[in-house]
Each structure stands twice: as structure tokens, then as C-alpha cells.
Amino acid sequence: GRANDLGIPGVPMTRTRFLGTGIALPERVVTNDDLSQLMDTSDEWIKTRTGIRERRWVVPGETGTGLALKATRSALDIAGLGADDLDAIVYATSTPDHSAPGNGVYLQHLLGAGPIPALDIRTQCSGFVYALSVADGWIRSGLFRRVLVVGAEIQSTALDVSTAGRDTAVIFADGAGAVVLGPTDDDAGILAFDLHGDGAYAEKLWVDAPGSMHHPRMSHGQIDAGRHFLRMDGKEVFRHAVVRMPESVRAVLGKTGHTPADLKLLIAHQANLRIAEVIQRSLELRDDQVYNNIMWYGNTTAATIPIALDECVRAGRLARGDLIALTAFGSGFLWRSAALRW
């Protein structure tokens, strides 16, 4: 046996491994030219500032839990498990189907899983890494064995698609990713997390209404004022994101005795391709050490990392034992990273 986290010799260490990954994206492709029909923008502006070429937006009838169900089935297939094998669900989304209850229980029901616990995580862009840290704690403590972690988002219905909302409307999009996690005693698995938040910036990227501080919680006045739309101070988000993500990647790798040069792959939250490029330069990573797909999907908030991870798995970019880092930054502000061996 090895020393466990508490340094107790002879006690075998349980770690959390990825058993399967899956994704689901709406079929409807929305190009930059499509957006130019709705608002004063251009393919050139969007590509230059964000790297995005197209994204997926749902059509009425497609839901977050519907996409999550598809992604989960695919992840369970890869894991060789059924819904009955799951012990718990952690569902990261800032855009649930309804205000309450959260999406976790809807997914549990759609899956036909047993009466297992389901926890919704509302930490926006960094929701998936936060959800992973919760699932990892549950698995390593022995509370649950097989945990489903979902990052899924429907942002398109929260966007102002007129010229007034063009700064956010061209960036955010819809999609879902799911991973099935389980315990392992070998060298693979999640090694460390680095988690931070600073609420001083809460209103730099937020949705004001509906909210319980408003009387009434939801009103025609709010809607007329567009307070139900996602609002962002893009420059402020950019400025913090390019500092916090590299800092956090160095910190989480430091906890494992590694540096960025040791990475097989960094998957950074797909907020904006320009942000991803600054992170890559700042960590001095080669092109083959990073993965970006924002060009095709836009920013799907909590779903960007599990979608990217699944694409890397399916493309054969990850081999057993590879050192990987995940990092995210977003609304809160909240930022967090994970280091793992595949």
C-alpha cells in the first residue's frame, strides 16, 4: 500500500477515475452570418474577437435535461454501466429547466435510475470542475461509488438577440457533457483541485432577475428593462480570466509536484479563443498540449469542459496515465482547476 492523503502508510489510497464520457449538442447550427440577420454584428467581428464560427442553439422542445440524458447514456455505454449502477448525480447548470427543483432530479427520473440523490451545482462557467470536486469527495470518502457528473446548459433562451445584447449573444450557447466516475486504487484518477471565488465581481457577469430580492420576484417591468438577460462586462471578465486560469493551473500542478511542461493536455473553459490563447502563452504550452473547440460550439458555460474532454477521448488523444489539467473561470467570479492522471 501507499501513503494516502493523510500520509498514513499502509492505508491504500482511493482515487476517483473517469469511467466514461458523453456529450449531446442541439442539432440546430447557428452561424455568425445567421446572427448578423438578427443584430448589428458580423462574421469578421465575432471571429476576430472570440474565435467563434458557429454554435448550437436549441429549438423549442429541446431541454437541458433532454441533452443531459443523451450525454449520460453515451457516458454509461462507454463505462459499460447502466443507470441502475449509479449511486448519485451531481448536475452543474446555471440554466435549469425550471427555477425549482433543479435538473438533477429530472435527469434521475428520465434515466430510470433508482431513488438516488441528485445535487444541482450553480457555479456557472466553473460548475463542472466544482461538481467534479464534490463527486470526488463523495467517492474518496466512501459515501458513494459511482457518481454521474453533468455539465449542461441552455444559454440561448437567456440571450438578448437584438443589437443591445450582441456582446453576449454572439458568445454563449447550448450543449451538454456527462462523465461517470468511480473509485480506483491504481495510479490513475483525480490528483488535486484548486478552488477560488471572489464575490466582489458578482455583477460583472450575471442574470439579475427573476430573483427573490425583487418584489415581486418576476414582473413585466423587469422584462421591459431586459433584467432577465445575461449581462457581462466583457473587458473585466477578460482581464481576470487571463490571470486567474494560468495562476490556478500552476497552483494545482504544484500540489502534485508538476509544472505545466509536464502536461499531456490542458483543457481550459471555452470562454473565448483569445482568452485560451493567452493562457497557452502564459503557461508556455505547445499547440499539442491544449484543446480548443469554441470555434464550433461557442461558450456552453458548465458544458465546455466535459464536451472538450469527451472529444479528446474519442479522438484518442488521451492514454492511460497521461497528466491532464482542467481549468475554468466565470461568473461569481469563481475559478478552479483540477489535475488528474487519465
Would you say 76 or 159 has its CB closer to ligand COA? 159
**Angstrom distance (rounded) from CA 36 to CA 57:** 15
Instruction: State yes or no: residue 271 binds ligand COA (CB under 6 A).
Output: yes
Q: Locate all alpha helices (DSSP H) within the chain, ordered by sequence.
A: 32-38, 43-50, 64-79, 103-111, 127-141, 166-169, 220-224, 234-255, 273-282, 294-297, 304-314
* Binding residue for ligand COA, selected from 24, 90, 147, 237, defined by CB under 6 A: 237
At residue 314, what is the residue type? R
Give Cβ neighbours of residue 243 (< 8 Å, ≥ 6 apart). none
HSE, side-chain direction, 13 A CA sphere, residue 300: 35
**Angstrom distance (rounded) from CA 305 to CA 173:** 14
Active site residue 4: no
Kindly state the smallest distance separating residue 172's Cβ from ligand COA, in Å: 8
Would you say 30 or 171 has its CB closer to ligand COA? 171
Active site residue 125: yes
Residue with smallest beta-carbon separation from ligand COA: 234
Q: Which of 103, 240, 269, 312 is catalytic?
A: 269
243: closest CA among 335, 172, 326? 335
Would you say 21 or 50 has its CB closer to ligand COA? 50
* Binding residue for ligand COA, selected from 32, 41, 108, 248, defined by CB under 6 A: 41
Q: Locate all alpha helices (DSSP H) within 142-226, ordered by sequence.
A: 166-169, 220-224
Instruction: State yes or no: residue 49 binds ligand COA (CB under 6 A).
Output: yes
How many residues contact ligand COA, by CB under 6 A?
A: 20
Within its chain, how far is the Cα of 31 from the centroid? 22
Kindly state the smallest distance separating residue 21's Cβ from ligand COA, in Å: 22
* Binding residue for ligand COA, selected from 136, 167, 194, 310, defined by CB under 6 A: 167
Kindly state the smallest distance separating residue 129's Cβ from ligand COA, in Å: 13
**CB count in 10 Å sphere of residue 335:** 25
Kindly state the smallest distance separating residue 326's Cβ from ligand COA, in Å: 15
* Binding residue for ligand COA, selected from 134, 227, 234, 293, defined by CB under 6 A: 234
Instruction: State yes or no: residue 45 binds ligand COA (CB under 6 A).
Output: yes
* Binding residue for ligand COA, selected from 98, 217, 235, 255, defined by CB under 6 A: 235
Q: Which of 32, 272, 299, 312 is catalytic?
A: 299
Instruction: State yes or no: residue 275 binds ligand COA (CB under 6 A).
Output: yes
* Binding residue for ligand COA, selected from 21, 103, 184, 272, defined by CB under 6 A: 272
187: closest CA among 11, 12, 6? 12
With b for 16 or more beta-carbon neighbours within 10 A and e for fewer, the 212-227 pattern comes to: eeeeeeeeeebeeeeb
Q: Is 12 helix (H, G, I), strand (E, B) or coil?
A: coil
Q: Which of 32, 103, 125, 312 is catalytic?
A: 125
Active site residue 312: no
107: closest CA among 147, 79, 142? 147
- Judged by CB under 6 A, which stretch of 12-20, 173-181, 215-223, 232-240 contacts ligand COA? 232-240
Residue ranges in contact with ligand COA by CB under 6 A: 41, 45-46, 49-50, 125, 166-167, 170-171, 232, 234-235, 237-238, 271-272, 275, 299, 330
Which residues are known catalytic residues? 125, 269, 299
